[in-house]
Amino acid sequence: MVISVIIFIITLLILVVIHEFGHFIMAKRFGIRVEEFGFGIPPRIFGKKIGETVWSLNWLPLGGFVKLTGEDETDKDKLNDSRSFARAHVNKRMIVVVTGVVMNLVLSWVLFYTVIINQNFRIIYPTPDPIVSIARVEEGFPAQGAGILVGDRILSIDGKKMEDIEQAVSVIKEKDGQPLTLQIADLDGNFKREVTVSPQETEDGEKLIGVVFSPIGIKIYQTLPEKIFSGISYSYDLTRITFTGLGRLIGDVASGNVEKASQQVAGPVGLARITDSFISVGAVLPYIWFTGVISLTLAIFNVLPIPALDGGRLFFLIIEAVTRRKVHPEIERIIHTVGFVILIGLSILVAFSDIKKIIP
């Protein structure tokens, strides 16, 4: 477990540093002075100045940062610096802020393409709820002849809605070899069709249609355009699913169902446990997929208009671009500070929730 925690910390550090490197390269491109590029969160262990930038290593490994001259507009001593972030055109400041998100998004595409290509253009397809999907179709069985394919989703059998794998298996057994009518769709429940199959009796007396069910879907990219854009379209699908889950989470919290909401989220402790489950069995490709999901999640939540995050800063810059007037620096600072305190508080609550899941 210790090795898995270390690997997770290194992974998270790399993801955050790549994000901050996006800010760094665009700031340098626009002539904005970068005072410090920090690996980890202060307090500082040591730092070395190379050129005009201090490269520092800090004690808390779960993050990183880039400090730009004039980024804090309440620091009036640096506002008049010709290379101050505050003096750059608003469009350039918006690009600097959003490039970190872009870096995480592009990284997620690269990681997803790596997994998809190495798995012959197949990849697991998470859904907001457990489903009954087809993970494998056995040769020579009725399912193959009926045109049932890997990646299909079973919506119902003989008119009964399928909620889980156990129910599907039970219904098939209950039919005792009689014909079954399956309503099938894609992983999102679209493009519905019906097929009829009659279970085939095996040598040991079992009556099977010849499929292996899974609660998680498998996406298969078949055409050339689908394969070319697979990593990007997969990121879009995960983003859509993420917002669906986020909506449900907010709904649970609003309705007072905090316990249910806590089961749907995971912080560093929970993610470290997931890392251990991959590392312990040597599952390299699943861990690459998992890293891609984290990178995509960082991109999604950083672009939301949440104070203290990139999206919050971008929101104020958009206001400035539209109104041609800056929000008062002190007001913006207070909003970001309050947002940061709330985020830290939520992080602590999520960490306690993770620990509670481990310790009965």
In a domain, 229, yes or no: no
* Residue 213 shares a structural domain with residue 283: no
Domain boundary among 188, 203, 220: 220
List helix spans (H) across 30-76.
Answer: none
Q: Which pLDDT tens digit goes with each residue over 119-144?
A: 999 998 888 778 899 989 998 888 99
Listing DSSP states for 123-157 in one string gives EEE--SS---EEEEE-TTSHHHHTT--TT-EEEEE
* Residue 155 shares a structural domain with residue 203: yes
Total count of domains within the chain: 2
Q: Note the pLDDT of residue 76.
A: 67
* Residue 13 shares a structural domain with residue 110: yes
* Residue 33 shares a structural domain with residue 67: yes
Q: Note the pLDDT of residue 263.
A: 60
In a domain, 351, yes or no: yes
What are the tokens at 328?
């008062």
In a domain, 291, yes or no: yes
Residue 91's nearest CA partner among 176, 35, 154, 30 is 30
* Residue 141 shares a structural domain with residue 108: no
Instruction: Confirm whether pTM is higher than 0.75.
Output: yes
CA pair distance 122, 226, nearest whole angstrom: 11
Q: Is the dihedral of CA 215, 233, 152, 121 positive or negative?
A: negative
Region of residue 165 (phi > 0: left; psi between -120 and 50: alpha; otherwise: beta): alpha
In a domain, 11, yes or no: yes
Burial, 144: exposed, middle or buried (Cβ in 10 Å; 0-12, 13-18, 19+)? Answer: middle
* Residue 92 shares a structural domain with residue 179: no
Q: Note the pLDDT of residue 260.
A: 60
Q: Note the pLDDT of residue 12.
A: 87
In a domain, 225, yes or no: no
* Residue 140 shares a structural domain with residue 94: no
Q: Note the pLDDT of residue 192.
A: 92
* Residue 107 shares a structural domain with residue 16: yes
* Residue 278 shares a structural domain with residue 316: yes
Domain boundary among 201, 220, 239: 220
CA pair distance 276, 1, nearest whole angstrom: 6
What are the tokens at 278?
């991959």
* Residue 105 shares a structural domain with residue 195: no
In a domain, 75, yes or no: yes
Per-residue confidence in pLDDT tens, the chain, 360 aa: 678 778 888 888 889 899 999 999 999 999 999 999 999 888 899 999 999 999 999 988 777 899 999 887 666 667 778 899 988 999 999 999 999 999 999 999 999 999 999 999 999 888 877 889 998 999 888 899 889 998 899 999 999 998 888 998 888 888 888 899 999 998 888 899 999 998 888 888 888 889 999 888 889 999 999 999 999 999 999 999 888 877 877 776 677 665 665 565 555 656 666 666 666 656 789 899 999 999 999 999 999 999 989 999 999 999 999 999 989 888 998 998 898 888 777 777 766 665 665 565
Region of residue 163 (phi > 0: left; psi between -120 and 50: alpha; otherwise: beta): alpha
CA pair distance 297, 159, nearest whole angstrom: 38
Q: Which pLDDT tens digit goes with each residue over 10-56?
A: 888 889 899 999 999 999 999 999 999 999 888 899 999 999 999 99
In a domain, 252, yes or no: no
Range of the domain at 140: 133-220
Q: Are 214 and 165 in contact (CB under 8 A)?
A: yes
Domain CATH number, residue 208: 2.30.42.10
In a domain, 257, yes or no: no
Domain boundary among 159, 189, 220: 220
